Structure 1
Amino acid sequence: MRCRILVLCAIICLLVILTEARQRKAKHSADRRSLAVRSGHRSQRSSVRQGRRLAARSGKHRKRRLNAAKKNRRRRNLARKSKRKTKAKTESNARSGATYAILPLDFQQNFVRTTDNLRSEKAFLASRYGFSFAKTSGTATLKNTANMEYTCKMNIGTPKQKFTVLPDTGSSNIWVPGPHCKSKACQKHKKYHPAKSSTYVKNGKSFAITYGSGSVAGVLAKDTVRIAGLTVANQTFAMTTKEPGTTFVTSNFDGILGLGYRSISVDNVKTLVENMCSEDVITSCKFAICMKGGGSSSRGGALIFGSSNTSAYSGSNSYTYTPVTTKGYWQFTLQDIYVGSTKVSGSVQAIVDSGTSLITAPTAIYNKINKVIGCTATSSGECWMKCAKKIPDFTFVIAGKKFVVKGNKMKVKVKTNRGKTVCISAVSEVPDEPVILGDAFIRHFCTVFDLANNRIGFAATTYAT
């Protein structure tokens, strides 16, 4: 009996031990699951915290970038405002008559004319002054005016639209290609776009200037014109709608800056210099041109508004002045012309014309010049010679003072249609007065155009010409 009781107790103890073992195993498994869950929660919380930290850092970087961008915008705006203030101050000073301006002239480097260039320019002059040259043996059509060598920069509109223009004392209007011009010449040059300018004012009046091959046609408009740092508001100019033929196709300028008197202005448009004077944009109602000679330099001198101080170019401010005889072109009395010691002309009317490179003389004077220098005259109104030929100096007497141009400067190199380079006299033939003094003369003498006193002044230039 006792043995049975002991066996029963042993079985009960074994069952208790096995039960406790199962309970411990189940608890251990539950603990591991709980630990895994807690670990998962911790991992999720860590990921969330890390994501938040990254987002915060990214947000900080974004804020820094935005702040930097704002600072940069502020700097740019301040720079623009400062520039506008400086510009406004400059323009205000200009309007108060406290300044003058110097505009560099650009020069067509190493320029050599062709026979077509030469005859084109003569046809251009004939249409301008209403006379005819001797009939040429070659083509009579205008092919090229690129031999008008000196150009300058001008801006029209707000914001600025930049143009290269020919400063021309032989005309009085400003014109540039307009947006609707389909001519080949317009396609090859910069166009003025009124829709892009906040200061454009419509005029709409038709405009036309006749040249040898037809009329440059267009419409008038008003806008702000800026040149050499000077500003003229509501300046009337022309936008071309047609530039016929090939007159301006190969030119190195976009348009014309007329510097003559208002009396020859098409549609009686008030000239740029006249507006500068009436609005007190310039100190004195005058301008000056100093041209530099050829060579490889692209700088060709200066166009000076509001001053006759050309000492940087002429070595002094000592000018010989002569009165304007007819207010239209810059016309005056040329008292005498000498070639060497031979007087070839007495008193004649002459015009200073920066829009041409030529010098012209009436037939009688032209023949005398050719006889002295010994060149060979042609039926087309030129006189040919070998480039090595020495010719006498030319003397032009103005207001009692002698202005001498060296003989070798009165020869012009020309390339023939066959590619041969020869020389001709700088003087071409026209039937009658006036004598035209173009760049071949002007480049040796700084010239002042004084509107206030209706006179022209000349001073020798110190430039290499």
Structure 2
Amino acid sequence: MRLKLLLFCALVCLIVVLAEGRERRASSRRPQGLREQRITRNVRQGNRQSARTRPSSSTRKLSAVKKSSKKSQAARKIKNKTKAKTNASAKSKTKALTTQSVRSASGSGSTTLPLDFQQNFVRTTNNLRWEKSFLASRYGQSFATTTGSRTALTNTANMEYTCKMSIGTPKQIFTILPDTGSSNIWVPGPKCTSKACKIHKKYHPAKSSTYTKVGTAFAITYGSGKVTGTLAKDTVRVAGLAVTNQTFAMTTKEPGSAFVESHFDGILGLGFRSISVDNVKPLVQNMCSEGVISNCVFSICMRGGGSSKRGGALIFGSTNTTAYTGSETYTYTPVTKKGYWQFDLQGFYLGSTKVSGSTQAIVDSGTSLIAAPTSAFNKINKILGCTVTSSGECWMKCSKKVSDVTFVIGGKKFVMAGNKMKLKVRTTKGNTICISAVSDMGTSFWILGDAFIRHFCTVFDVTRSRIGFAASS
């Protein structure tokens, strides 16, 4: 009995041992997988944990992209800021330049208007007769008597220096004669039927958005008769300088042949307001009062003769005529009576002979001649030995030698070569002769026209009421 019991216990123990051994073997095979699973889980967990701290390859790429994007954004921000500053600076500069341009366009500075020039022109006796008639109707001796102490000019026959001017919006461009011997602006109007108007540019108020009707009658007397018309207002521009609501005249009648033969459409008066028809405020005075030019002056330099293309310049707001004088040094003399640009000519010499002492003189860019008082004219002709005609010219051979002439102004001597005193003229018979540049108008004062200005640049100082002269180089 005991033996059976012992055998049963031994069998149970063997079964238990065998079972445990089998379990161990199975267990010994499972742990590797479990470890792998645990490792895998740990790796996954570690990856999940490290994902927060250590990026994966794709995460690193994404992070790099983000960083690159952030850097790009930062770079763009810096670039944009720099660009903004640059743009702001550029805008500021542009604004400054625009302002400067506007100031230049509206003034607040100066501008040069070229004078046009016709080459190899020979004036005729008819030209001279008309001009003398023109001067005779313009000037009165009583007015001149006093007790006082870069646009291009065109030179027609050394008689007409013209430049460009526009009126209206949009611009209507005209060829005009800059005239210091008058103070009004006039151009042909739409209703003018005179022959001169038919062949010259007309102003059309209906085509301008800035035109204002005035309607006041206008009339100005020339040698060929009265030029008549009506006043109007519009924007007038010369060389980029604009004056709004400038009063000017639209002509309805331009009598005679003088304006038919002229190369200009109208007149730009540059004299004082006191001689302005209908008391119209002249263009230059409006430029000054409206701040279109900061320096209230204008200058005229003329060139001409032979085949030269240079006509010179009319300069607004500046005395810088170095291109013609080589310097900005002027001899100034006061205006003795406001109206025309009138001053005291202290003396005139032909060679060493004193022809005239202190006498009143007027600078007139609207005439080609130099007109002398009758007594001075007679002395000059006697020295020259020329032949005086009934119409007041002094004819001579073109080969004749003429001594230098001297004008004394403001205590300084201005010398002009004697050969410049001779002007070529074609007669009605087709012959070419020479005459003296000095003519007789029966006045008691001198009229210094283009024959004088061609050799001496002239500054017209409105503010200080003075005239400055510098010899052209």
TM-score under structure 2 length normalisation: 0.75
**Does the CA-based 8 Å contact 1:117-1:146 persist in structure 2?**
no
| CA shift digits 1:338-385 (9 cap, x unpaired) | 000000100100000000000011111111111111111122111110
Matched residue SS, 1:440: helix
Distance 1:458 1:389 in 2: 29
From 366, 372, 375, give the equivalent of 1:361. 372
Whether 1:327 aligns to 2:338 is yes
Distance 2:470 2:450 in 1: 15
Give structure 1 stretches of 5+ with no counterpart: 1-84, 132-144
Distance 2:263 2:451 in 1: 19
Distance 2:446 2:406 in 1: 14
Distance 1:91 1:172 in 2: 28
Q: Match for residue 117 of structure 2?
A: 107
Q: Pick the structure with greater CA Rg.
A: 2
**Does the CA-based 8 Å contact 1:449-1:457 persist in structure 2?**
yes
| CA shift digits 1:78-124 (9 cap, x unpaired) | xxxxxxx9997466314775420000000122111111111110000
Letter matched to residue 278 of structure 1: S
Q: Match for residue 219 of structure 2?
A: 208
| CA shift digits 1:37-87 (9 cap, x unpaired) | xxxxxxxxxxxxxxxxxxxxxxxxxxxxxxxxxxxxxxxxxxxxxxxx999
Whether 1:221 aligns to 2:232 is yes
Matched residue SS, 2:200: coil
From 413, 419, 441, give the equivalent of 1:408. 419
**Does the CA-based 8 Å contact 1:177-1:189 persist in structure 2?**
yes
Distance 1:97 1:380, change over 3 A: closer
**Does the CA-based 8 Å contact 2:235-2:246 persist in structure 1?**
yes
Q: Match for residue 185 of structure 2?
A: 174
From 221, 246, 249, give the equivalent of 2:257. 246
Q: Match for residue 12 of structure 2?
A: none
Shift of 1:430: 2.1
Q: Match for residue 199 of structure 2?
A: 188
From 269, 272, 276, give the equivalent of 1:265. 276
Distance 1:437 1:252 in 2: 22
Distance 1:221 1:160 in 2: 16
Distance 1:235 1:96, change over 3 A: closer
The size of the alignment, in residue pairs, is: 366
Matched residue SS, 1:267: helix
Q: Match for residue 292 of structure 1?
A: 303
**Does the CA-based 8 Å contact 1:95-1:279 persist in structure 2?**
no
- Percent of aligned pairs with the same residue? 74
Whether 1:126 aligns to 2:140 is no
Distance 1:434 1:461 in 2: 24
| CA shift digits 1:287-325 (9 cap, x unpaired) | 000001212234300000000011111100000000000
Whether 1:160 aligns to 2:171 is yes
**Does the CA-based 8 Å contact 2:119-2:157 persist in structure 1?**
no
Distance 1:96 1:326 in 2: 30
Q: Match for residue 50 of structure 1?
A: none
Q: Match for residue 314 of structure 1?
A: 325
Q: Match for residue 424 of structure 1?
A: 435
Distance 1:162 1:96, change over 3 A: closer
Distance 1:309 1:341 in 2: 33
